[in-house]
Amino acid sequence: MIQVNAMGDTCPIPVVKTKNAIRELNGSGIVETLVDNEIAVQNLTKMANQKGYGVKSEKLGENEFKVTMTVGDAAPVEEAEEEVLCAVPAKSRNVVVVISSAQMGVGNDELGTALMKGFIYALGQQDILPKTILFYNGGASISCQGSASLEDLKSMEAQGVEILTCGTCLNFYGLSEKLAVGGVTNMYVIAEKMTQADLIVKP
Amino acid sequence: MEDKIVFCKGGGCTAKLGAGVLSRVLERLPKGPADPNLLIGYDSKDDAAVYKVTDDLAIVQTLDFFPPMVEDPYTFGKIAATNALSDIYAMGGTVKTALNIVCFPEKMDLNILGEIMRGGSEKVIEAGGTLAGGHSIADSDVKYGLSVTGTVHPDNIYPNNQGQTGDALILTKRLGVGIICTANRVQEASEEAMNAAIASMTTLNKYAAEVCHDFTIHACTDVTGFSFLGHLHEMMDGKHSCVVYAEQVPVFKEALDYADEFLLTAAGQRNRNHTGPFVQFEGVSFAMQEVLFDPQTSGGLLIAVSKEEAATLLQRLRDVGLPANIVGEILEPSDVEIRVVNAKNK
């Protein structure tokens, strides 16, 4: 495994350094790149997706992110997995956030909409991000075009948060073509994600 | 060499704040009583402010400055000035006066500042304007630009959002200068590519605008930091949709090559985050997508004009030496605001 420190580097330097490290691998292997901003995470993720490398990213702290790329058929090294688990055990908790409405709480809709936008922003700023965010019923509009939360959701997705929206709900509201972040899911997966969660957060 | 790297940290319009972040701040600003003579202010997301003085005279005001995106101070001055002057042309105006805006480290060689301002001054003269003063600040990094005042007849303003269904979209310069400058910063751009990008960035939009004055322009904007697609999105303004023919968009071939090497800017990714949800790509390569999201420094004009006038306008633009092309068409509003299609892949 090669570690690349691109803290303090502006784009495209993190990508250039990571490309050089991948070249050094001479085949398959793992490259870990440390960067200090989310846009660099997104640009690295974009490269990995284009190149067909495995990629995951995590937020290590305020302004510190780690992007791990798996090149070729090298399986993730188990020792490294354990290391991560030991260092930050809280990260292994399976937190699932459930968004079932476009508003947060019951009362005034305008206030509820503003609160939901604020909640999703604040969610993305947490040290420990959820593993999955599920959107269903009125919540389905939040992952679609025109939502004020897209930037926040995309940034979380780039850091490895799984974002899933109920397909039946998208169809019902005529939003199928407007999904702008994450994937479409079904009730079986929604039930599975919720029953397997260590903690369900429902604003 | 070390000194030069300090001079150029990756600037131009790639240094712009993201549109999303910016509008969040702007919409919270207190608004004083509305002045009916302010024809175009910042709430309309247009290129410059326009203030009506009399029924047949309005002033156009704009300012632009940024850090260097090239090594040579004189070239940087020319690019920064060309970029700042551009907003006047995008509004249909004529350049009158300009003020220098300078940030410069106290300890740096003053000859460098002289070279920057010489480049800027030459472009103001070429624009037919007069340098009338300026303001300078001691700062850790170099930044330069202009505050420009122009005039326009209030009936002949080019808004950026009044395109009509059926209009042809014309772009007057090639895209990809942001990616080329970024590749140059990590020594991966060819000299030819960099020279071509510099030639484009130092070409005043004056020549395109002068041609436009003989036509009925429905909408016009200059393509800068928010990228071709970002400025096109502003032009649609929620009132129209459009189709873009990817293979007709003028681009620097090398920019596509460097995009495939992932020599991408942070600003380009911010543009993708902001405008991406409004865009649907159909058979468009990754590299071309990146070029369409690439922040342009001193980019060309994006013009909406009736189909009937488009062919003649295009010919006239090419006659003055511009690599212009018809790049798309404005349509009725639709679920997908901007469709980018590639006819070659169909």
Task: Give the model's confidence band at A100: pLDDT under 50 very low, under 70 low, under 90 confident, else very high.
Answer: very high
**Are A48 and A135 members of one domain?**
no
d(CA B114, CA B106): 14
Contact predicate B316/B214, CB 8 Å: yes
Question: How does DSSP assign A71-133, residue by residue?
Answer: ETTPPPPHHHHHHHHHH-GGGGS-EEEEE-SSSSSSS-HHHHHHHHHHHHHHHHTSSS--SEE
Chain A residues whose C-beta is within 8 A of a chain B C-beta are: 10-13, 15-16, 19, 37, 39-40, 42-43, 46-47, 50, 145-146, 150-151, 154-155, 177-178, 180
Indicate the residue type of B314: L
Write the pLDDT tens digit of every residue in B174-191: 999 999 999 998 999 999
**What Cα–Cα distance (Å) separates residue A97 from each residue in A3, A60, A100, A180?**
32, 20, 10, 18
- Residues of chain A positioned with their CB less than 8 A from the CB of B281: none
Selected for mutation to probe chain B from A9, A10, A11, A176 (highest B CB count within 10 Å) is A11
Cβ contact, residue pair B263, A12, below 8 Å: yes
Domain boundary among A64, A87, A110: A87
Selected catalytic residue, list B13, B181, B212, B242: B13
Q: Residue A85 is encoded by which pair of tokens? A: 């688990």
**Are A77 and A102 members of one domain?**
no
Q: Which residues contact B77 (CB under 8 A, 6 or more apart)?
A: B115, B116, B117, B118, B119, B120, B121, B123, B144
Residue A111's domain is classified under what CATH number? Answer: 3.40.1260.10
**Are A102 and A171 members of one domain?**
yes
- Residues of chain A positioned with their CB less than 8 A from the CB of B67: none
Q: Are strands A2-5 and A29-35 parallel, antiparallel or unpaired?
A: parallel
What are phi and psi for residue B315, nearest 5 degrees?
-60, -45
Nearest residue of A to residue B23 by CA position?
A148
Chain B residues whose C-beta is within 8 A of a chain A C-beta are: 9-10, 20, 182-183, 185-186, 261-266, 269-270, 273-274, 276-278, 286, 335-336
Beta carbons within 10 angstroms of residue A118's beta carbon: 15
pLDDT confidence of residue B127: 97
Task: Give the model's confidence band at B275: pLDDT under 50 very low, under 70 low, under 90 confident, else very high.
Answer: very high
- Residues of chain A positioned with their CB less than 8 A from the CB of B261: 19
CATH match of B2-156 with 3.30.1330.10: yes
What are phi and psi for residue B70, nearest 5 degrees?
-135, 160
ipTM over 0.85: no
- Residues of chain B positioned with their CB less than 8 A from the CB of A155: 273
- Which of A12, A47, A177 lies at the smallest CB-CB distance from B335? A177
Domain boundary among A58, A87, A116: A87
Handedness of CA B191, B195, B196, B200 (dihedral sign): positive
- Which of B263, B266, B277 lies at the smallest CB-CB distance from A150? B277
- R_g (Cα) of chain A, nearest Å: 18
**Are A148 and A193 members of one domain?**
yes
What are phi and psi for residue B32, nearest 5 degrees?
-75, -175
Cβ contact, residue pair B269, A11, below 8 Å: yes
| Weakest-pLDDT range from A197-201, B27-31, B194-198 | B27-31
Contact predicate B92/B209, CB 8 Å: yes
Domain definitions of chain B by residue range: 2-156, 168-345
Cβ contact, residue pair B262, A150, below 8 Å: no
**Are A44 and A142 members of one domain?**
no
Q: Which CATH number fits domain B168-345: 3.90.1150.10, 3.90.650.10, 3.60.20.10, 3.40.50.720?
A: 3.90.650.10
| Weakest-pLDDT range from A189-193, B104-108, B201-205 | A189-193
Beta carbons within 10 angstroms of residue B239's beta carbon: 15
Range of the domain at A74: 2-87
Which residue, B201, B221, B66, B228, is CA-closest to B159? B221
Q: Are strands B94-104 and B241-245 parallel, antiparallel or unpaired?
A: unpaired
Q: Could you give the 3-state DSSP secondary structure of residue A52?
A: coil
Cβ contact, residue pair A43, B20, below 8 Å: no
Cβ contact, residue pair B186, A13, below 8 Å: yes
Q: Which residues contact A79 (CB under 8 A, 6 or more apart)?
A: none
Average pLDDT, stretch A163-187? 89
**For the stretch A46-63, what's the b/e string if a residue is b when 16 or more beta carbons lie within 10 angstroms of its beta carbon?**
bbbeeeebbbebbbeeee
Selected for mutation to probe chain A from B269, B284, B286, B293 (highest A CB count within 10 Å) is B269
pLDDT confidence of residue B27: 79
Q: Are strands A162-166 and A183-185 parallel, antiparallel or unpaired?
A: parallel
Domain boundary among A87, A113, A141: A87
**Are A183 and A111 members of one domain?**
yes
Selected for mutation to probe chain A from B22, B179, B264 (highest A CB count within 10 Å) is B264
Which residue, B227, B236, B221, is CA-closest to B47? B221
Residue B231 has pLDDT above 60, yes or no: yes
Q: Residue B75 is encoded by which pair of tokens? A: 């070239």
**Are A113 and A132 members of one domain?**
yes
Beta carbons within 10 angstroms of residue B263's beta carbon: 26
The order of strands in the sheet holding A95-99 is A183-185, A162-166, A132-135, A95-99, A199-201
Average pLDDT, stretch B18-39? 81
Residue A104 has pLDDT above 50, yes or no: yes
- Domains contained in chain A, number: 2
Contact predicate B303/B169, CB 8 Å: yes
Residue A37's domain is classified under what CATH number? Answer: 3.30.110.40
Choose between A61 and B18: higher pLDDT.
A61
Kindly report the average pLDDT of chain B as a whole number: 91
Cβ contact, residue pair A39, B266, below 8 Å: yes
Contact predicate B16/B295, CB 8 Å: yes
Cβ contact, residue pair A47, B186, below 8 Å: no
- Residues of chain B positioned with their CB less than 8 A from the CB of A50: 262, 286
B181 is catalytic: no
Cβ contact, residue pair A10, B274, below 8 Å: no
Q: Which residues contact B33 (CB under 8 A, 6 or more apart)?
A: none
Distance from CA of A173 to the nearest CA of B (A): 14
d(CA A28, CA B97): 60
d(CA B248, CA B157): 28
Distance from CA of A96 to the nearest CA of B (A): 24
Average pLDDT, stretch B236-251? 97
The order of strands in the sheet holding A54-61 is A2-5, A29-35, A64-71, A54-61
pLDDT confidence of residue A81: 38
Task: Give the model's confidence band at B5: pLDDT under 50 very low, under 70 low, under 90 confident, else very high.
Answer: very low
Supply the pTM of this predicted model: 0.72
Residue A79 has pLDDT above 60, yes or no: no
Residue A89 has pLDDT above 60, yes or no: no
Cβ contact, residue pair A15, B335, below 8 Å: no
Cβ contact, residue pair A46, B269, below 8 Å: yes
